[in-house]
Structure 1
Amino acid sequence: MSVRAYAAHLGVAIRTVSKWEKLGTATCPWPDTQAILDTALVRADAAAQSRFEQLLAQGPPERRPGGAASPTLADHETWAEDLERIVVCLDRQDFAFAATLLERWLGRAQPRELDDRGLYLYGRSLVLSGDLRRLQGTLQDLMTARRLYCDAHSLFTELGIPRRAAQIELSLAVVSEMAGHLSAAAARYQQLTDDERLAPADRARALLWIGTALAKDGRNAFAIQVMRQAAERFEELNEPEEWATAQQKLALAHRGAGDLTRALAYIDTARSNGRFETPLQRVQIETAHAHVLLTDPATRSGGHVVLDRASDIAARYGLKHQLRSIKTVRTSEENT
């Protein structure tokens, strides 16, 4: 049985079974719990009882030095569930718990012992670990994220899953942009905008991110043209949140081009239409809003208030890349 199925069979919590599995022979259940296990064994059929006796005779499974036994088929369901939990943790910027869950599997699995399903889960774990590092965003994190993404790309290529491989290529381009390699990132985004391995929404994101890289490189007029195309695609695809993000980026591009009236109009549109539910999204919209407000002496004091609010959220959730962006905005404002 999977961990979930076995917990349901016994009538105990999933985390209880996971704890038994983690502790192995060091497990010492409470008397009531031991009674549940004893009853389950008595009620099991003869074949199950025979397997139980054989397992006792064999002793605990062989383990790697300093590690746990490699996952088995019975673990796959629990592994997949943990990956879903990790996605939620990353959305909420709960990096500590996401790291704990990832270490549970990456520290345990030996790729050479996994079947295709296990290798798929291992690849997804590598990608999510890369996402974790990318979201934290120090230069060291970005280097580690690149390595993790490259390992996952090789794995999904070997497994013959081109969509996953292409999504990783998109993430690698994001890492290049975050590391300041703007021209290389823009060129890679351009290649991916027409890549049939990607879903239409991912291709539209690649188009929007071309504009982001161009705007960071000071080519705002060209960036605005590309971003407008991306916004139109998101509207056609009925992706309202992505469309609102495009408005936010258009605001910054217009600010860079010196058109504060349009910049304010676009940032107001973004703030009115986006939900910005996660800490990262809130920091991004607040930083963009502050950047526009700080450009005009008449709204500069309000811009400082908004930027301080963004900085507080970024610091609280460990968004180090965003903190660097906020520092850049402050420095830019002080030099004008």
Structure 2
Amino acid sequence: MAAGEGTEVAATAHHWSGREARLLRHALRLSVRAYAAYLGVAARTVAKWESGGTATIPRPDTQAILDTALARADDNARRRFDLLLRQANGEQPAAPHGGYDFEAWADDLDRTMVSLGRQEFPLARTLIDRWLRQYQPNSNDTRGMDLYGRTLRMLGEVLQDQGVIQGPLSAQQSYRRALRVFSELGMPRRVAQLELKLVVLDEMSGRLDSAARQYESLTADERLSEHDRTKARLWVGTALSKKGLNGQAVNHIVPAIRGFEKLEEPSDWSIAHQKLALAHRGDNNLTAATEAIEIALAHKVSDTPLQRVRLNTAYAHILLSDQANTDAGIRLLDQCAHVSRQFGLRHQLTSIDGIRLAFERQA
């Protein structure tokens, strides 16, 4: 039953914005897809709220559904929602009194996720380091160890987005530490998700043969959700495209696009079209490449700096492949480089420099 169905709960009216709808999802600890199912709306509707922030106002009938969802939430979820709402409005929560405040820790992880989405890396590191400094790992403390593993994974994601891939203080090290924690806790899905993250780092480091083989194996790994297996299928295509095997890449990317459409994952569906565009560009099919990148640009769900740079870098790469559009491609590449420097996106800068160098050599 959707949250808005039934009359047993009397909801208190609340004027919901897209931002508040997102905070309620975080308070309920639900994914976009699970939240949409809980409310009885489409996943793309939830994604639209969240990308619009305070400027997006859910429809009147949805306002009532959100009211009911909040009214039916348990006390912990309501406290989390209130805390997240106060933090979003600039208020600071009271400091915890002794021991580990696991609720505050979980809320900080939610805030970290939001900060990471906006590429606010200093804030994300502050929230992460606050808990990694004070928590002493204890195998008998299941709740604390779960939060510890999630925090290590989040640190890995921050470092990955910054391009710190390998080394003693890298994304690779953080993911491996998190993997050990979840292996000890006996949580196979999270272990498999981290194995997938480590393969992404292999691909980013240029180990494309190994990455393609590991991705292929993970597409059939029952420990992963169907969504994660579809991501692995897309990334097989990404690795093959980087190797220059663009025809084979398309044969993996197109089924992934169909999979994301079936799963109602609009963000991944858009990203997959970006990957398809680059595969077509590598195959010198500029008409198909332009069509795919235009779909990705028209249907992007979020406009974070990182996603904007990724999309526009791909578009610039395609423009540079057409002699009539090289000036526009260079201008767009310069804009991407500026945003990458502004937000500390080092891996993206490396990719941009590589595209520019290849173009100059060809010219």
TM range (shorter): 0.7 to 0.9
Output the CA distance in 1 between the equivalents of 2:177 and 2:314.
34
The structure, 1 or 2, with the larger RCO (C-alpha pairs under 8 Å, 6+ apart) is 2
Output the CA distance in 2 between the equivalents of 1:275 and 1:81.
24
Q: Of residues 187, 195, 200 in structure 1, which corresponds to 2:226?
A: 200
Q: Of residues 80, 89, 108 in structure 1, which corresponds to 2:106?
A: 80
1:67 aligns with: none
Paired AA for residue 312 in structure 2? E
Q: Scaled by the length of structure 2, what TM-score is found?
A: 0.73
1:289 has 2:318 as partner: no
1:330 has 2:356 as partner: yes
1:303 has 2:329 as partner: yes
* 1:251-294 Cα deviation digits (max 9, x unpaired): 10111111111111111111112234211110000000000000
- Structural RMSD (CA): 2.3
* 1:1-21 Cα deviation digits (max 9, x unpaired): x9x79x99xx9x973622x86
Q: Of residues 113, 133, 146 in structure 2, which corresponds to 1:120?
A: 146
Output the CA distance in 1 between the equivalents of 2:310 and 2:328.
17
Paired AA for residue 92 in structure 2? R
Paired AA for residue 136 in structure 1? Q
Residues 235 and 16 from structure 1, CA distance in 2 versus in 1: closer, same or farther, beyond 3 angstroms?
closer
Larger radius of gyration: 1
1:41-190 equivalent positions in 2, closer than 5 A: 71-72=99-100, 75-112=101-138, 115-140=141-166, 144-190=170-216
Q: Of residues 229, 233, 237 in structure 2, which corresponds to 1:211?
A: 237
Output the CA distance in 2 between the equivalents of 1:138 and 1:100.
17
Question: Could you say what secondary structure the match of 2:276 adopts?
Answer: helix
Paired AA for residue 230 in structure 2? A
Output the CA distance in 2 between the equivalents of 1:192 and 1:250.
20
Alignment check: 8 A CA contact 2:244 2:282 kept: yes
1:243 has 2:269 as partner: yes
Output the CA distance in 2 between the equivalents of 1:196 and 1:311.
39
* 1:182-207 Cα deviation digits (max 9, x unpaired): 11111111111111111111110100
Output the CA distance in 1 between the equivalents of 2:169 and 2:238.
21
Output the CA distance in 1 between the equivalents of 2:154 and 2:168.
13
Q: Scaled by the length of structure 1, what TM-score is found?
A: 0.78
Alignment check: 8 A CA contact 1:123 1:156 kept: yes
Paired AA for residue 215 in structure 1? S
2:44 aligns with: none
Q: What's the offset of the Cα at 1:119? A: 0.4
Alignment check: 8 A CA contact 1:134 1:141 kept: no
Output the CA distance in 2 between the equivalents of 1:150 and 1:82.
22
What is the aligned length? Answer: 279
Unmatched runs of 5 consecutive residues or more in structure 2 = 1-75
Paired AA for residue 226 in structure 1? H
Alignment check: 8 A CA contact 2:164 2:171 kept: no
Identical amino acids, percent of aligned pairs: 44
Q: Of residues 15, 32, 48 in structure 1, which corresponds to 2:92?
A: 15
Unmatched runs of 5 consecutive residues or more in structure 1 = 22-60, 62-70
Q: What's the offset of the Cα at 1:113? A: 7.3
